[in-house]
Chains A and B, each alone.
Chain A
């Protein structure tokens, strides 16, 4: 290892120790300090822009530092951002809001921990809303870790309102059927019989012994479906296999990578509502009234997006500058 790297390594260790044992916990910047930081960063953008126009291109890895700063610094800033509600998230919320207490909703958790930063906040808000409204939730997953993420949502709901622990009963108000492999074939088979795919719940309790599943044979016996999806199998398979084939009513929460591919289904009316990525999660949290991580993270997200936009502009300035120079030569 070179000297520079050894120094960097020990500097990192020192920073970690400083953060852990010296800095105040939790750490918060005052509004004045936050404003000063934002102004200073903006000035550096202007400097970089000017240098670029002069043909003095900066090291491209500086983008990593700026994105890192844009994502990290808002954690400590006391900023409130207004989250406008998009029609597709409003539509998803309206569908759930229209359900009566006692209605049964099938919640398909089709994601794993790597996608949790985007999907867990919307899943948490969904679960809290259903429990408070008295909507019964039937949980299942086409991804192995999906049901355990659902368990985290249930736990989050109980931590948010400890009174729910006594009020909400497993097997009566919600059930976790667990994971079943088979992807879209599971969806198709559930159209005839849930029990065929889930003979017991995640704890091994037989299907017929679970009160909430009494009279639930297939999709025609549930009132709505909510899907949280990070890829395949996911929303696309639910639309193709359950909505178009069995007439299931469905709204979905997707990672931002997947959302553009799902919009055609929303536009065609195959999907009632769609929550896309962190922004969709923040909007849903606002609508349900359970503001949590997504609402906090959206600040950092917004700043990071501004940084990306600025660097796209600077990058295009560099490109046009280079093109002009080549023409002159």
Chain B
């Protein structure tokens, strides 16, 4: 292994231990590691966005020697208008145009995205015969139908949660809590996996205690 790789591994190990030291308490090592992380990530994203957006998407297309495009100029002008927020109230209002463009465009795209994929098709998937198949299938179908219905009842704001309606809302919140528990469990697994990745680096690549 070259000396640069060795130095890199030791540096990465030092940063890992510095960040993890926060588990004990806030300390100078953690603060230094965090500041370096924040600074380098900001620098990395600046460089990425410069080359991928400003250079590749705007400059190469707008100044193409064979067929220069006009469309990138629209994005460029809107981007410049966005910067007017930095220059005081007199011209800061100009930044509302690009903001309106972004909000309008994404609202239009997302409206159909979420309406189709997250609403319509999910309702269609909930419409299933319940008492068919094995016992496990029946239980699964009943839970899906009941959970979806009661969850919708819980988030219905035009009626008080009283009587049968209130009972359904209560069942809905139970379903939600079970979902949150499952989600929490999955997240615990995810965090453990990330920790495993770091431990694999520390014990494998750095200390070489594992093959």
Known contacts: A240-B116, A267-B144, A268-B125. The answer to whether A71 contacts B195 by CB under 8 A is yes
A25 near B208: Cβ-Cβ < 8 Å: yes
Q: B residues within 8 A CB of A67?
A: 192, 195
- On chain A, the residues within 8 Å of B114 by CB distance are 240
B83 contacts the other chain (Cβ, under 8 Å)?
no
Residues in chain B near residue A61, CB distance under 8 A: 23-24
Residues of B contacting A: mostly:
helix
On whether the beta carbons of A269 and B125 are closer than 8 Å, the reply is yes
In the complex, what distance in Å separates the CA atom of A210 from the CA atom of B70?
A: 28
Q: List 6 A-B contacts (CB under 8 A).
A: A23-B209, A27-B210, A61-B23, A115-B194, A118-B190, A244-B121
Shortest CB-to-CB span from B68 to chain A, Å, is 15
Q: Would you give the shortest CB distance from A275 to chain B, in whole angstroms?
A: 13
Within 8 A of A (CB), among B82-133: 109, 113-114, 116-118, 121-122, 124-125
CB proximity of A33 to chain B, nearest CB, Å? 15
Known: A71-B195, A268-B124, A301-B193. 15 other contacts (CB 8 A): A5-B27, A12-B17, A117-B193, A181-B49, A236-B117, A240-B116, A240-B117, A241-B113, A244-B116, A245-B116, A256-B187, A276-B186, A278-B189, A301-B192, A301-B196
Q: How many residues of B contact A (CB 8 A)?
A: 43
Asked whether A257 and B109 contact (CB < 8 A) given A27-B210, A300-B196, the answer is: no
Answer whether residue A10 sits at the interface, using C-beta atoms and an 8 A cutoff.
Answer: no
Chain A interface (Cβ < 8 Å from any Cβ of B): 5, 12, 16, 19-20, 23, 25-27, 61, 64, 67, 71-72, 75-76, 114-118, 144, 179-181, 184-185, 188, 236-237, 239-241, 243-245, 255-257, 259-260, 264-265, 267-270, 276-279, 293, 297, 300-301, 304-305, 308
Check if B186 sits within 8 Å of A260, measured CB to CB: yes
- Report which of B118, B144, B190, B198 forms a contact with A256, defined as CB distance below 8 A: B190
CB distance from B164 to the nearest CB of A (A): 27
**Interchain CB contact under 8 A, B209 and A270:** no
